[in-house]
């Protein structure tokens, strides 16, 4: 059997280790997972609706996500047909590539950024053009310079993962003026709810231009990662194309009712966002106290530079029952990412990091040239 040639250099995407696996393999009773940018609170606000929906699971879900679609259309004051739902916002990346990419096309991504753009673009057969970050930020003018007649999509994670940095409204506005209408600008706004006030109002750009899509997710601030649901908002024409290549029942019943609950329930976000902000400050303080270099984040995680290979730290933390995210898969072996958790989890993380640093060399500041990071696809 011959698989597609694009699979040749591709490694399986390794997500953060699950709590259950670490508990089982290390015989630990308590494990804190600070690896996958999840929210540390269970979304109890969906309980009743999920219970009620149990009775309907002998039936396929709505292919159109009817109620959720109506809700979102009203919220954004857009036509219902401008919305596309995905099994996680991840799926919308795949749908977009599936609808747009033909042999010889190019896709522009930053490096490093959310890995799925590059992996999926490579699978779709596109040529991936990388633009290194500049001091941990997207280098928008450089991204624009890479556009040529073959460019189909530019992916922008805003806020970015794994750096947590963001591009503001003015930066994006200036950037869009440089991009021809034939190129789709894909704004992945998975961490939108955590971002500060000058974050782009992307829906305004969409009203002025017909080459924009932005995606949001219920996985992060709304704490529904386990249900897999996200959505994209774009023009009628692009949404119609994405809906053509979508599986008919890609959003399960529980995800659909939970999505409606999430938008109806204002209390959960009001609790989550300030909590994460407070704990972010706590972690900044803890990391500064240890002399560790970190990047200020507009999201619910922090990128940390250990200035040396993080492997032994990662294993040390695992044995203590703390899972962080290694960034080896990004080609960043000296960096790791920590998700902001409950106070007790963050405190334990700082305590363990202190213990580790006392045992080994102290960290210092470093300037990183992402240009020299090896390609993930060849590692």
Ligand X SMILES: Cc1ncc(COP(=O)(O)O)c(C=O)c1O
Q: How far is the CB of 151 from ligand X (least distance, A)?
A: 21
Binding mask 187-206 for ligand X (x = CB under 6 A): -x-x----------------
Residue 28 or 252 having the CB closest to ligand X: 252
Which residue number places its CB atom closest to ligand X?
88
Rule CB under 6 A: say whether 217 interacts with ligand X. yes
Question: Could you tell me if 165 and 136 are in contact, meaning their C-beta atoms sit under 8 angstroms apart?
Answer: yes
Q: Indicate which single residue of 112, 200, 230, 341 sits in contact with ligand X (rule: CB under 6 A).
A: 230
Q: How far is the CB of 239 from ligand X (least distance, A)?
A: 17
| Ranges within 234-253 binding ligand X (CB under 6 A) | none
Residue 13 or 60 having the CB closest to ligand X: 13
Rule CB under 6 A: say whether 300 interacts with ligand X. no
Q: How far apart are CA 379 and CA 371, in angstroms?
A: 15
Q: How far is the CB of 16 from ligand X (least distance, A)?
A: 9
Q: How far is the CB of 88 from ligand X (least distance, A)?
A: 3
Rule CB under 6 A: say whether 133 interacts with ligand X. no
Rule CB under 6 A: say whether 157 interacts with ligand X. yes
Number of residues that bind ligand X (CB under 6 A): 13
Give burial (CB, 10 Å; 0-12/13-18/19+) of 217.
Answer: buried
Structure tokens belonging to residue 77: 């004051």
Residue 61 or 86 having the CB closest to ligand X: 86
Q: How far is the CB of 157 from ligand X (least distance, A)?
A: 4
Residue 111 or 114 having the CB closest to ligand X: 114
Q: Indicate which single residue of 53, 90, 305, 326 sits in contact with ligand X (rule: CB under 6 A).
A: 90
Question: Could you tell me if 317 and 349 are in contact, meaning their C-beta atoms sit under 8 angstroms apart?
Answer: yes
Q: How far is the CB of 191 from ligand X (least distance, A)?
A: 7
C-alpha distance from residue 283 to each of 165, 262, 292 (Å): 16, 28, 11
Residue 90 or 279 having the CB closest to ligand X: 90
Q: How far is the CB of 29 from ligand X (least distance, A)?
A: 27
| Ranges within 16-55 binding ligand X (CB under 6 A) | 37
Which of these segments, 63-71, 87-95, 166-174, 355-363, binds ligand X (CB under 6 A)?
Answer: 87-95
Q: How far is the CB of 325 from ligand X (least distance, A)?
A: 10
Q: Indicate which single residue of 82, 120, 124, 161 sits in contact with ligand X (rule: CB under 6 A).
A: 161
Q: How far is the CB of 289 from ligand X (least distance, A)?
A: 28
Which of these segments, 82-90, 163-171, 281-289, 325-333, binds ligand X (CB under 6 A)?
Answer: 82-90
Torsion of CA 114, 119, 122, 128, to 10 degrees: 20
Q: Indicate which single residue of 40, 88, 164, 259 sits in contact with ligand X (rule: CB under 6 A).
A: 88
Residue 40 or 286 having the CB closest to ligand X: 40
Query: Which positions lie near ligand X, rule CB under 6 A?
Result: 37, 88-90, 114, 157, 161, 188, 190, 217, 219, 225, 230
């Amino acid at each position: 059997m011959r698989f597609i040639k694009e699979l040749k250099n591709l490694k399986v995407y390794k997500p953060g280790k699950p709590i259950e696996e670490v508990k089982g393999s290390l015989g630990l009773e308590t494990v804190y997972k600070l690896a996958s940018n999840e929210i540390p609170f269970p979304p109890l606000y969906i309980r009743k609706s999920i219970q009620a929906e149990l009775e309907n699971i002998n039936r396929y879900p709505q292919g159109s996500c009817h109620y959720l679609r109506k809700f979102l259309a009203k919220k954004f004051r857009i036509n219902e047909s401008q919305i596309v739902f995905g099994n996680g916002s991840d799926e919308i990346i795949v749908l977009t590539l599936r609808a747009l990419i033909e042999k010889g096309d190019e896709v522009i991504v930053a490096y490093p950024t959310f890995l799925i753009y590059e992996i999926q673009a490579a699978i779709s057969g596109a040529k991936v053009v990388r633009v290194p970050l500049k001091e941990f930020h997207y280098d928008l003018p450089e991204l624009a310079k890479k556009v040529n007649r073959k460019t189909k999509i530019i992916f922008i994670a805003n806020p970015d993962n794994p750096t947590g940095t963001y591009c503001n409204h003015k930066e994006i506005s200036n950037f869009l003026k440089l991009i021809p209408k034939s190129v789709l600008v894909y704004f992945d706004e998975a961490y939108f709810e955590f971002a500060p006030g000058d974050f782009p109002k992307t829906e305004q750009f969409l009203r002025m231009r017909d080459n924009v899509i932005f995606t949001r997710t219920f996985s992060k601030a709304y704490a529904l990662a386990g249900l897999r649901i996200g959505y994209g908002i774009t023009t009628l024409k692009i949404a119609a194309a994405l809906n053509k290549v979508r599986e008919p029942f890609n959003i399960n019943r529980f995800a659909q009712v939970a999505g409606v609950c999430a938008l109806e329930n204002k209390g959960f976000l009001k609790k989550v966002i300030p909590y994460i902000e407070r704990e972010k400050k706590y972690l900044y303080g803890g990391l500064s106290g240890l002399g560790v270099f970190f990047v200020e984040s507009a999201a619910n995680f922090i990128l940390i530079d250990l200035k040396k290979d993080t492997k032994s730290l990662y294993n040390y933390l695992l044995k203590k029952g703390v899972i962080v995210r290694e960034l080896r898969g990004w080609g960043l072996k000296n960096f790791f990412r920590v998700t902001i958790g409950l106070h007790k989890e963050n405190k334990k993380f700082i305590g363990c990091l202190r213990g580790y640093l006392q045992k080994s060399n102290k960290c210092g500041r470093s300037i990183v040239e992402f240009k020299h990071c090896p390609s993930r696809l060849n590692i």
